[in-house]
Amino acid sequence: MNANNRSFVLACLTLTSTAFGQAQPAEPPAPGAPREFRLPQPTKIELGNGMRATLVEYGSLPKVTVQLVVRSGELNAGEQTWLAQLTGELMQEGTQQHGASEVADLAAALGGQVSVTVNLDTTTISGDVLAENAPQLIALIGEIARTPALPESEAERVRGDLLRALTVAKSQAQAQAREAFARHVYGASHPYGRPYPSEEQLASYSAEDARVFHDANFGAQRSHLYVAGKFDAAAVKGAIDSVFGDWQSGPAILVDVPQTVATRAVVLLDRPGAPQSTVILGLVVVDPSNRDYVPLQVMNSLLGGSFGSRITANIRENKGYTYSPRSELNNNYKVATWAELADVTSEHTADSLAEIVAEISRLKAEPPPAEELQGIKNYMSGVFVLGNSDRGSIISVLRYADLHGLADDYLNTYLQRVAAVTPEEVSRLAAEYLPTDTLTLVVVGDLKTVKPQLAGLDWISESDLN
Amino acid sequence: MLRYVNLGLAVFGLAVLCTGCNRDDGEPVTATDVAAGSAAAYTIPVEYHKLDNGLKVVISEDHTAPIAVVGVYYNIGFRIEPQDRTGFAHLFEHMMFQGSEKLGKMEFIQLVQRNGGTLNGSTRFDFTNYFEVVPANTLETMLWAEADRMRGLAITQENLVNQQGVVGNEVKVNVLNRPYGGWPWLWMPQHANENWYNSHNFYGELAHIEAATLDDVKKFFTTYYAPNNAALAIVGDVNPQEAMRWVEQYFGDIPAAAMPPRPDLTEPRQEQEKTAVHEDPRANRPALAFAYHMPERGSPEYYAMGLIDQILLQGDDAWLQQKLARDKGYTADVGGGINDLGNMFNYNGPMLWTASLIHDPTVVREDIMKSVDEVIDRLRNEPVDQATLDRAVVKMRSGLYDIVSDFYGFGRADLLAALALFDDDPARINSLEAQFRVVTPELLQATAREYLRPTARTVLTLEPTGERSEP
Residues A358 and A223 in one domain: no
Q: How many domains in chain A?
A: 2
What is the structure's pLDDT at B425?
Answer: 98
The reply to whether A165 falls in a domain is yes
Q: Nearest CA of chain A to the CA of B179: how many Å?
A: 6
Residues A198 and A284 in one domain: no
- Do B45-251 and B274-469 share a fold? yes
Q: Nearest CA of chain A to the CA of B10: how many Å?
A: 10
Domain B274-469 has CATH 3.40.109.10: no
What is the amino acid identity at position A189? S
Domain boundary among A211, A244, A277: A244
Residue B137 with chain A: CB contacts under 8 Å: 10, 12, 31-35
**Option in A108, A323, A414 nearest B317 (CB):** A108
Give B42's pLDDT tier (boundaries 50, 70, 90): confident
CA nearest B196: which of B105, B263, B279, B149?
B263
Domain boundary among A244, A276, A293: A244
pTM attached to this predicted model: 0.92
What is the structure's pLDDT at B27?
Answer: 31
Beta-sheet pairing, B274-280 with B457-464: parallel
**pLDDT 10s digits, B371-392:** 999 999 999 999 999 999 999 9
Mutate which of A379, A394, A414 to test chain B, going by most B C-beta atoms within 10 A? A379
What is the structure's pLDDT at A379?
Answer: 97
B-chain residue closest to A106, CA distance: B317
**Option in A92, A112, A378 nearest B116 (CB):** A378
Percent of chain B with pLDDT over 90: 89
Residues A81 and A195 in one domain: yes
d(CA B258, CA B54): 11
Residues A218 and A274 in one domain: no
d(CA B346, CA B38): 29
A-chain residue closest to B101, CA distance: A26
Mutate which of B69, B242, B398, B465 to test chain A, going by most A C-beta atoms within 10 A? B398
d(CA B232, CA B227): 9
- Average pLDDT for residues B43-60, to the nearest whole number? 98
Q: Nearest CA of chain B to the CA of A239: how many Å?
A: 17
Asked whether the beta carbons of residue B394 and residue A130 sit closer than 8 angstroms, the reply is yes
**What are the DSSP E strand ranges found in A47-185?**
52-57, 63-70, 114-118, 123-130
d(CA A66, CA A114): 9
**pLDDT 10s digits, B159-181:** 999 999 999 999 999 999 999 99
Give B22's pLDDT tier (boundaries 50, 70, 90): very low
Residues A291 and A237 in one domain: no
- Average pLDDT for residues A149-160, to the nearest whole number? 97
Q: Is the pLDDT of residue A22 over 90?
A: no
The reply to whether A402 falls in a domain is no
Q: Is the pLDDT of residue B21 over 50?
A: no
What is the structure's pLDDT at A262?
Answer: 81
Residue B66 with chain A: CB contacts under 8 Å: 10, 35-37, 385
CA nearest B436: which of B302, B296, B346?
B302
Asked whether the beta carbons of residue A397 and residue B359 sit closer than 8 angstroms, the reply is no
Does residue B130 contact residue B96 with C-beta atoms inside 8 Å? yes
**Residue A328 domain boundaries:** 266-367+422-465
Which residue did the predictor score with more confidence, A39 or A7? A39
- Average pLDDT for residues A94-105, to the nearest whole number? 97
CA nearest B421: which of B136, B125, B133, B108?
B125
Q: Is the pLDDT of residue B468 over 90?
A: no
- Average pLDDT for residues B439-460, to the nearest whole number? 98
- Average pLDDT for residues B269-279, to the nearest whole number? 98
- Average pLDDT for residues A401-426, to the nearest whole number? 95
The reply to whether A99 falls in a domain is yes
**pLDDT 10s digits, B177-201:** 999 999 999 999 999 999 999 999 9
User: CATH no. for residue A174?
Assistant: 3.30.830.10
**pLDDT 10s digits, A235-292:** 999 999 999 999 999 999 999 999 998 899 999 999 999 999 999 999 999 999 999 9
Q: Is the pLDDT of residue A51 over 80?
A: yes
| Whole-number average pLDDT of chain A | 94
Asked whether the beta carbons of residue A319 and residue B11 sit closer than 8 angstroms, the reply is no
List chain B domain ranges. 45-251, 274-469
Give A18's pLDDT tier (boundaries 50, 70, 90): very low
Q: Nearest CA of chain B to the CA of A358: how many Å?
A: 20
What is the structure's pLDDT at B36?
Answer: 39
What is the structure's pLDDT at A23?
Answer: 53
Q: Is the pLDDT of residue B78 over 80?
A: yes
Residue A165 with chain B: CB contacts under 8 Å: 332
Q: Is the pLDDT of residue A47 over 80?
A: yes
CA nearest B362: which of A158, A170, A164, A207?
A164
Domain B45-251 falls in which CATH fold? Cytochrome Bc1 Complex; Chain A, domain 1 (3.30.830)
- Average pLDDT for residues B315-329, to the nearest whole number? 97
Residues A171 and A306 in one domain: no
Residues A437 and A289 in one domain: yes
Give A466's pLDDT tier (boundaries 50, 70, 90): confident
Say how far residue A266 (Cα) sits from the centre of its chain: 25
Residue A10 with chain B: CB contacts under 8 Å: 66, 116, 135, 137
User: Which ipTM score applies to this complex?
Assistant: 0.93
Q: Is the pLDDT of residue A157 over 50?
A: yes
The reply to whether A119 falls in a domain is yes
Q: Nearest CA of chain A to the CA of B389: how many Å?
A: 11
